[in-house]
Amino acid sequence: MNVLLCATCGTRLTEPVRQLDEPPEYPGWDGLPGPDGRRHGPASVPRGTYVVDPLPFGWPFEPVGPDEEYDGVVPGGMWMSDERGFLVSAGPRGTYVLHPDDVLAITPHPESQRLIGCCGPDGRAGVNHLCGCGAEVAIVAADCTSRYETRLVPDAVRVEAGA
């Protein structure tokens, strides 16, 4: 079991969690409120576990180049479009994907534009949660259009063996 700590101040950011070798298959979701009445997709990982995602996630987004052959796979599952065309995530790689209930001591970013989403933040705007010391540490996705997860940014945290 490991705990993830803020690299700036050492605050413990997670319950003890076990690393998975690969992400579990994501179940389908119909967009309806769950049994708890909340409107977010299913959790990406079970409680008590985490996985390291090698793909980019969230902001910034970059256009698929005219000479690039797009194979239909969106790295990190995140995409959007604007006047530049189809955009894919070029955000942080190696994020630690956790069940939101395993994450402690983070607060929403004071810049409200980072908390964009319909029913909660969707994670597209980049780091949207802070450690108590003010360090930008997490991307929370809890919108009705996104997976339900918290991603700790690799440069902002460190992993320690813990009980």
Identity at 96, one-letter amino acid code: Y
What would the DSSP string read from start to end of 123-152? STTS--EEETTS-EEEEEE-STTS-BEEEE
Question: Global pTM?
Answer: 0.86
Residue 85 lies in a domain: no
* pLDDT (0 to 100) of residue 148: 87
Question: What range does the domain containing 102 cover?
Answer: 2-59+94-161
Residue 65 lies in a domain: no
Q: Is the pLDDT of residue 52 over 90?
A: yes
Residue 68 lies in a domain: no
Residue 67 lies in a domain: no
Residue 73 lies in a domain: no
Number of domains in the chain: 1
Q: Mean pLDDT over all residues of the chain? A: 85
Residue 84 lies in a domain: no
Locus of tokens 């977010």? 40
How far apart (Å, rounded) are the C-alpha atoms in residues 150 and 135? Answer: 16
Q: Is the pLDDT of residue 17 over 80?
A: yes
* pLDDT (0 to 100) of residue 72: 57
